[in-house]
Amino acid sequence: MKLSHGRAVFLMVAVTLMWSTAGVVTRQLEHARSFEVTFWRSFFTLVSLLVILPLFLGRELFGKLRHGRAALLISGLCWTVMFTAFILALTLPSVANVLVPVAV
């Protein structure tokens, strides 16, 4: 996928804004438990990736997934730990105490 400089900068800024507001939005969910938030966050990430990745990679995606093996499993494990730890951390200290180390 080739991006122009302007589009790449736009995407970097957009992703940064979405990531930085995740803590604030998550803290506003008063009735949802941390594992419930983690489940729905993971579910919508899966749905988004199932739509976005085939658009960019086409049929190559399925071949890459089949041949990913260990790297794909390690990546999935890392994402699982990151998603769960981030939401659990947000439920314990203030949002600032979590987002500052993440931003660093």
Region of 58 (left: φ > 0; alpha: ψ -120 to 50; beta: rest) is: left
Terminal-to-terminal C-alpha distance of the chain: 28
pLDDT in tens, 45-69: 889 888 888 888 888 888 888 887 8
pLDDT in tens, 73-104: 899 899 889 888 877 777 776 766 777 676 66
State the CB neighbour count (10 A cutoff) for residue 26. Answer: 20
Could you give the CA distance from residue 38 to residue 55 in angstroms, rounded to a whole number?
26
DSSP state of 25: H
Q: Which structural domain range is residue 21 located in?
A: 5-103
Question: How many Å apart are CA 61 and CA 40, to the nearest integer?
Answer: 24
* Res. 40 pLDDT band, cuts 50 70 90: confident
How many domains is the chain built from?
1
72 in Cβ contact with 65 (< 8 Å): yes
pLDDT of residue 77: 92
pLDDT at 6: 93
* Interval 22-27 mean pLDDT: 73
